[in-house]
């Protein structure tokens, strides 16, 4: 076999799964002027959070009769505020056509169920179900800015400081027994019963099951800098003293 044949068989790429935090913006009205103004106010509260933030535009909740949406202009408004559109979620044909014209991926509407591709799928041998909860992931070294640590199907326990710009993700609870200055996202697959425990709350963002508070909100809390636990009640994050 020649060197050229060996080179041709050498893989050029690998496809890997990745757990990324992506913001979804659900549009309630087709009013780009008001959207621009309200985004300006929101960005002023948390400028770092809106810097090059990956975004999915959810257009499937727009009321009927709101008129044709200028998708290109909507993306431009978001881009001016640091939101980078990766895809849209839509059901109206006009929105889907506009996305295709812009070479933008279209995701199914919220709550849409996948339909089987094969009307008579072949029976496959079932694999044993993965345990719902794995042993806690324990981190004993400082988490630096730019690092992301994910505890899949488990709690995350950090025994060292978490710097600004670092991100902690867990399907279960998050415990930080040191100063917490980065982002902590617990229950990221929808577990509303997850909690966050901080020995010293100084976080850029705290989130449970997609509901979050950023630093500007957290700094106004009387427990800023104290030992706290964070839980979710409905759509509201509750911060209480430990």
Question: What are the tens digits of pLDDT across the range 105-117?
Answer: 888 776 544 344 3
| pLDDT over 50 at 139, yes or no | yes
Whole-number pLDDT of residue 37: 92
For range 196-225, the mean pLDDT: 92
Closest CA to 202 of 240, 163, 234: 163
Percent of the chain topping pLDDT 70: 81
DSSP code of residue 134: P
188 neighbors 166 (Cβ within 8 angstroms):
no
pLDDT winner (highest mean) among 4-8, 25-29, 203-207? 203-207
Sheet with 106-107, edge to edge strand ranges: 23-26, 53-58, 83-89, 106-107
229 neighbors 206 (Cβ within 8 angstroms):
no
Please, is 143 exposed, middle or buried when counting C-beta atoms within 10 Å of its C-beta (0-12, 13-18, 19+)?
buried
Supply 81's token pair.
């505020």
Give me the residue label for tokens 């309630």. 28
Whole-number pLDDT of residue 91: 83
The mean pLDDT value of the chain amounts to 83
Whole-number pLDDT of residue 177: 96
Model-wide pTM > 0.75: no
pLDDT winner (highest mean) among 95-99, 114-118, 121-125, 195-199? 195-199
Q: How far apart are CA 206 and CA 202, in angstroms?
A: 10
Name every residue whose Cβ is closer than 8 Å to that of residue 126 and which is 6 or more positions away in sequence.
none
Closest CA to 186 of 163, 166, 209: 209
For range 217-226, the mean pLDDT: 93
Whole-number pLDDT of residue 113: 42
Convert the pLDDT of each residue in 58-84 to its tens digit. Answer: 888 888 787 889 999 999 999 998 888
Convert the pLDDT of each residue in 88-109 to its tens digit. Answer: 988 888 888 998 998 888 887 7
């Amino acid at each position: 076999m020649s060197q050229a044949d060996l080179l041709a068989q050498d893989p050029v790429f690998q496809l890997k799964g990745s757990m990324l935090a992506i913001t979804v913006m659900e549009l309630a009205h087709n009013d780009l002027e008001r959207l621009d103004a309200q985004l300006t106010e929101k960005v002023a509260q948390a400028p770092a959070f809106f810097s090059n933030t990956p975004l999915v535009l959810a257009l499937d909740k727009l009321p009927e009769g709101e008129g044709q949406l200028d998708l290109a202009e909507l993306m431009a408004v978001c881009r001016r505020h640091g939101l980078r559109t990766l895809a849209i979620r839509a059901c109206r044909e006009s929105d889907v056509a506009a996305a295709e014209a812009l070479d933008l991926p279209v995701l199914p509407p919220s709550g849409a169920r996948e339909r089987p591709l094969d009307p008579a799928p072949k029976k496959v041998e079932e694999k044993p179900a993965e345990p719902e909860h794995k042993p806690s992931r324990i981190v004993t070294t400082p988490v630096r800015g730019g690092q992301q640590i994910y505890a899949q199907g488990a709690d995350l326990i950090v025994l060292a400081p978490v710097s600004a710009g670092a991100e902690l993700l867990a399907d279960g609870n998050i415990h930080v027994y040191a100063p917490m200055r980065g982002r902590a996202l617990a229950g990221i697959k929808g577990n509303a019963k997850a909690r966050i425990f901080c020995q010293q709350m100084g976080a850029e963002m705290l989130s449970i099951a997609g509901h979050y508070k950023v630093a500007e909100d957290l700094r106004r809390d009387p427990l800023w800098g104290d030992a706290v636990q964070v839980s979710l009640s409905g759509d509201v994050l509750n911060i209480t003293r430990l």
